[in-house]
Every structure is written in structure tokens, then in C-alpha cells.
Amino acid sequence: MTPPVAPAQTRLQPDFSFRFLVENLPVGIFQSDVRGHCTYFNRAWERLSGLTIEESMQDGWVRCVHPDDLRSVLGIARYGIENRQEFRSVYRLVRPDGEIRHVDFHTVPYTDEQDEVRGFVGVTTDITGQVRVAEQLAAANAELRTAAGQHQQQQAELEITNQQLQEQ
């Protein structure tokens, strides 16, 4: 009897498996040098941002940050890069077609064998669905509060009317 053959995916070389994973995850993955200039983006970033990988390189990715969020995003990134530490920001991304997506941008430094920071790697996760659900919940809660306030007003009016009727 021959032993079962392992699926082809389990026989892949680790380097290939990692590259396959990075290119096929549904989150934008990027790498930058120690100054924060981006040197790598995966295809998911391209799909999310609407920018080509070439357009995104170096500091090109900032073109898709919503103008109202740009100062904050760049400030957080600059602080993290200067201090060689993890940083995170949630911002609006504006695609070239005008569509706005909400993203969570999370970056960590990577080091060499001497523990010197050599650059940063990070992910950009599309959280638009979660933001929309949160907005819908907030709107529903506001409607509920309004309805509850109207109910309390109606109940108070009924109590006054009931008291007036009892006095007659």
C-alpha cells in the first residue's frame, strides 16, 4: 500500500509559500526603507487604492489619502519613522475613480541581526464595511432615542389628560 500523497500546497518551498501568501492576502501589504519611502506593494494594495504599484512607490501612495486626513496620517507616520516604532492610523482613501474607502494602516519596523531598524513593513486593511455598519448602528440608535423621547412625551401628555379627566 502506498502512503497518501500530501497536497501540492504543502510541498511548496517556504519562500514561494510566503510570496504566494503576500501576493494573495486580501489586505494591502507594503515595505519601506528606513526613511519611510515605499519600496514594495502587493497586488491587493493596487486593487484597494486604484493606484498602480509603480504610482504608489516612494511617497506616491499619499496621493490616495483623503485631503482632510493627510496631515494626520503623515504626522503619525513621520513620528513612527523618526522614533523607529510601530504606528497605526485609520483614514479615508480616495481612489482615482472618486470612491472613498476607509482603511486601517498599521506599520511596524523590521530589524537586522544587530537589532538596527532597516525599514518598515505594514498592512492596509479595508474597513469600509465595518465603518458603514457602525454608521448605520449610530443612525438607528439616534432614531431609537428620538422615538423613545417621543414616546415619553406622549406618555406624559396622556398622564396629564388622564389626570384632567379624573378631576372632572
Residues 6+ apart with CB under 8 A from 108: 86, 120, 121, 122
User: What's the pLDDT at 5?
Assistant: 45
Say if residues 44 and 25 touch (Cβ distance below 8 Å): yes
The pLDDT tens digits for 60-107 are 999 999 999 999 999 999 999 999 999 999 999 999 999 999 999 999
111 forms bridges with which residues in the sheet? 117
User: What's the pLDDT at 6?
Assistant: 44
Question: Shortest CA distance to 51 belongs to which of 63, 67, 69, 66?
Answer: 63
User: What's the pLDDT at 16?
Assistant: 67
**Residue ranges, the chain, pLDDT below 50:** 2, 5-12
User: What's the pLDDT at 1?
Assistant: 54
DSSP string, 117-153: EEEEEEEEEE-HHHHHHHHHHHHHHHHHHHHHHHHHH
Question: Please, what is the end-to-end C-alpha distance for the chain in angstroms?
Answer: 99
Q: In the chain, how long is the greatest CA-to-CA distance?
A: 99
